[in-house]
Structure 1
């Protein structure tokens, strides 16, 4: 009997929820007068590049974080909580909750693995019953943001870097674990787990999943095809 643990990793944007939360957040910040219309349009542009798997996510993130230089972390955490409750929490895809519960029933560790902020990831875990999160974190000094992010970015190969480090500490066997995502940018992490799970994918990921016969799931409806699942104590 294997003593290694099993984890189920979940992407956030366009996987657990049906939209890119960065666009929602930019619109939320504009509504409250904290950014300009031009900044909203820039966010939408970079989110489109992300969805099409082109452009540099690192450059986009670095540009976005400069805006928060000198802002108190407690203020941003409060804004992020309001944003999550108003805009993100209601967007959980209907088919996601049964799968989360199925993994919980199987004794798996539920992990949010997202390019979003640590604040959104933490609120999502609390709301939907996940156990841990791996997300982007931002250095501060005297409680104020320095306008940068901890590297490597939790994106692409960076997701693999952070997930491997977490799995080693947690005693998790990635080859017995699952990862759910919609994005081709997550291909490196999909290749690291034993059970790559593709949810309402972008065209490039769909083509790859069909070629390699990976499981394709549609979470837009509450009645979803449930994935085959390994018990944690098997």
Structure 2
């Protein structure tokens, strides 16, 4: 069976949920504005530049989970989803996911953003399988630490292989959609890599490799890509 694997931030949604969660915390006065905003912006630039220290970032990003009771966190998260995420959902992404479902593929989201933030977003798209960085939860509270391998760069490959050990799927006939050059390790592993509204580095690499480059920002699933998806069931494999 084949997978339709999707990055989340700036791929299935028109923004970065990790960065926006930080901005939400700032706006609501939950964290110190000056210190948190500077760090949040710096880490986001590091991510875009490919220089992010994921462990250092997670120590920063998971700290507010440990500092607050879970009932308040869940209440804030519901508000965050409605205010910041729902407006960024992409109809073209919904259509693309549905095309893969009709083709018999299993949709899965794989993201560096932690599961606390991303789980309700996956539900909005009706996607059951989510691989995300996992915050540690003990004795009814988040600890501020993470469990297992962070789901970032080569960590996505590691986490996906762990998942595949318990599921019957074939990466050679699977798709991966991403906007970021940070996902090149996984993009290079699947049979059908696709650059979605890519950053400049990924766009140049995709064009060199002759990978499809598509947009999901125009309201509909790209017709040419839909035809390519159908054709792939018979003849096409992109390498």
Instruction: Give yes or no for the alignment of 1:26 onto 2:22.
Output: yes
SS of the counterpart of 1:188? helix
Aligned length: 228
Instruction: Give yes or no for the alignment of 1:90 onto 2:83.
Output: no
TM-aligned CA deviation for residue 48 of structure 1:
1.6
Instruction: Give yes or no for the alignment of 1:154 onto 2:142.
Output: no
Question: Can you give the 5+ residue segments of structure 1 that lack an aligned partner in the other structure?
Answer: none
Residue pair 1:111, 1:133 contacting (<8 A) in 2 also: yes
Q: Distance in 1 between matches of 2:94 and 2:63?
A: 35
Residue pair 1:139, 1:150 contacting (<8 A) in 2 also: yes
Give the alignment of 1:13-162 within 5 angstroms.
13-38=9-34, 39-162=36-159
- 2:190 counterpart (188, 193, 215): 193
- Indicate the larger mover: 8-17 or 23-32: 23-32
TM-aligned CA deviation for residue 95 of structure 1:
2.3
Q: Which residue of 1 aligns with 2:4?
A: 8
Q: Distance in 2 between matches of 1:64 and 1:118?
A: 12
Deviations 1:13-46 (A, max 9, x none): 1111111122211221122211111202211221
Q: Distance in 2 between matches of 1:154 and 1:206?
A: 22
Q: Distance in 2 between matches of 1:15 and 1:195?
A: 16
Deviations 1:38-66 (A, max 9, x none): 20221122112101212312211122223
Q: Distance in 2 between matches of 1:135 and 1:81?
A: 19
Change (3 A) 1:74 1:177: farther
Q: Distance in 1 between matches of 2:158 and 2:68?
A: 29
SS of the counterpart of 1:15? coil
SS of the counterpart of 2:5? strand
Q: Distance in 2 between matches of 1:129 and 1:164?
A: 23
SS of the counterpart of 2:29? coil
- 1:181 counterpart (178, 182, 189): 178
